[in-house]
Amino acid sequence: MQDSHALAEKAAQVLAMNDRDGLYTVPGANLYPHQWLWDSCFIAIGLRHIDVERAKTEIMSLLRGQWSNGMMPNIIFNDDKHYATDRNAWRSWLSPYSPDHVVTSGITQPPMLAEAVVRIGEQLHATERREWYKSVLPALQAYHEWLYNDRDPHDEGLVLQIHPWEVGMDNTPAWMSYLHEHQLPGWIRFLVKTHLVGIVNFFRRDAKSVPLDERFDTVEILALFDIQRRLRRKAYDSSKIFNRSLFLIEDIAYNSIFIRANTQLKQIAEAINVPLPDSLLDRMKQSEEALNKLWDPETSQYYSRDFISHKLLKETSVATLLPLYAGCITQERAEELVKLIENDQMYGPAYPLPSVATSSRHFNPMRYWQGPTWMNINWMVIDGLRRYGFNDHASALTDLSLELVEKSGCAEYFDPITGEPLGTDNFSWTAALAIDLLHHTKK
């Protein structure tokens, strides 16, 4: 690291630039003009070092969007008239549970909320921390209870996701292979057959700011909008969605993050002496055991699972490392995962962690979640490595992550071979998590 002060300064400028009215931070001004759920959690984790009150506000702004059934939506839309099309694509008002004062999406995202709440808490004095925890616990508990009640219908300890956007790793291979096998609607197959897909590229909004070979494949993005439309038609009512949908996955990344969040939720409740219901505590325990069902002894990796057939979706992605972050796996399993990080054919190229193993047939160093390195994944894996005692690995990954930002700026994602910046620039979570990692290097 040449000049950590200059790097922190640059990252803070990105967050300031993406701040909206002191209330929330957009992920990136060009491509992402609204508030996103897990983005704001990562952003708050960085902001707490700059202005802890502002970090709290980031979280309270997220809670504006919570539905009355406990669901936390992945997007809260900017209410400017300019964005009417985005709001109208989701029409959250179709659901009786949606909030009155903001328009949101109808699906959720990885539950990083408890982590953000605890990290903010770490910056506060004991009395303030208790106040902070008291103010957010009911919403947080309602969110976790909704996840169990709504998304674990068979009471198995694993929660399911209904759209790749819920996982936040939008075009990760396991989901995309599943999509191609089961879900491509007739009208999209027609576009492919007649070579009309190219025309759609002209209308892609993301193409205006990012080269298309760094983004989603057009067929896949059309399919995702199609699924979204079908969810909207059912007014985001899970009972109706589960009956008809073929696209239900218990995602390994999502469930790992949820297990970590459960631990944080328990910590918050204990700190203010509020007992969580036994029913919730039992389900939390069950989840930790259920994660074993996603382990494949043949390849020594974790995978996501098809909710219906219970088959593992054996496409490797960096999500296989996130049980380190979950914290509930054995030391032996953790060691198996560390071997994958050390292997340069898997997750150990020059600028780790690639979102897909470099030897996978799906690996593409430039395409979104199919190869590039993302700062939020590195941050979670670093945290997990430390908790399992792999301090040298954690420090090496921290240094390489910061080197990437120093070399290529606060890009949305990075080429894991060359370290070149990819996606949109001035991306908020890259900036926020760089700030947080810089603080770790000082300790």
Active-site positions read 170, 412
Nearer Cβ to ligand GLC (27/349): 27
Q: At its nearest, how many Å lie between ligand GLC and the CB of residue 423?
A: 9
Q: At its nearest, how many Å lie between ligand GLC and the CB of residue 5?
A: 27
Query: How far apart are the C-alpha atoms of 105 and 133, rounded to whole Å?
Result: 26
Residue whose C-alpha is closest to residue 382's, from 306, 425, 423, 440: 440
How many chain residues touch ligand GLC (CB under 6 A)?
Answer: 7
List 7, 15, 18, 32, residue binding ligand GLC (CB under 6 A): 32
- Distances from the Cα of 18 to the Cαs of 13, 48, 109, 174, in angstroms? 9, 16, 21, 32
Q: At its nearest, how many Å lie between ligand GLC and the CB of residue 34?
A: 9
Query: How far apart are the C-alpha atoms of 64 and 50, rounded to whole Å?
Result: 23
Nearer Cβ to ligand GLC (133/379): 379
Nearer Cβ to ligand GLC (99/168): 168
Interacting positions 339-378 with ligand GLC (CB under 6 A): none
Query: How far apart are the C-alpha atoms of 33 and 130, rounded to whole Å?
Result: 33
Specify whether the CB–CB gap between 328 and 192 falls below 8 A: no
Nearer Cβ to ligand GLC (377/404): 377
Specify whether the CB–CB gap between 12 and 402 falls below 8 A: no
Phi, psi of 287 (to 5 degrees): -65, -40
Q: At its nearest, how many Å lie between ligand GLC and the CB of residue 424?
A: 9
Residue span binding ligand GLC (CB under 6 A) among the ranges 31-39, 65-73, 140-148, 274-282? 31-39
Specify whether the CB–CB gap between 264 and 114 falls below 8 A: yes
170 sits near ligand GLC (criterion: CB under 6 A) = yes
Draw the binding track, 35-54, toward ligand GLC (x: CB under 6 A; -: no contact): -x-xx---------------
168 sits near ligand GLC (criterion: CB under 6 A) = yes
Draw the binding track, 301-330, toward ligand GLC (x: CB under 6 A; -: no contact): ------------------------------
Which spans in 319-390 are helix H?
323-326, 331-342, 375-387
Residue whose C-alpha is closest to residue 353's, from 335, 325, 373: 373
Binding site for ligand GLC (CB under 6 A): 27, 32, 36, 38-39, 168, 170
